[in-house]
Amino acid sequence: MRIHLTSVFVDDQDKALRFYTEVLGFVKKTEVPLGADRWLTVVSPEDPDGTELLLEPSGHPAVKPYRDALAKDGIPATAFAVDDVRAEYDRLRGLGVRFTQEPREMGPVTTAVLDDTCGNLIQIVHKA
Which pLDDT value is given to residue 71?
Answer: 92
Q: What is the pLDDT of residues 43-63, one digit of tens each?
A: 999 999 999 999 999 999 999
Which CATH superfamily groups domain 5-127?
2,3-Dihydroxybiphenyl 1,2-Dioxygenase, domain 1 (3.10.180.10)
Predicted structure pTM score: 0.94
Which pLDDT value is given to residue 128?
Answer: 81
What are the contacts of 17-24 at 24+ separation with CB within 8 A?
Answer: 17/42, 17/55, 19/116, 19/117, 19/118, 20/53, 20/55, 20/116, 23/92, 23/95, 23/97, 24/80, 24/92
Domain map (residue ranges) of the chain: 5-127
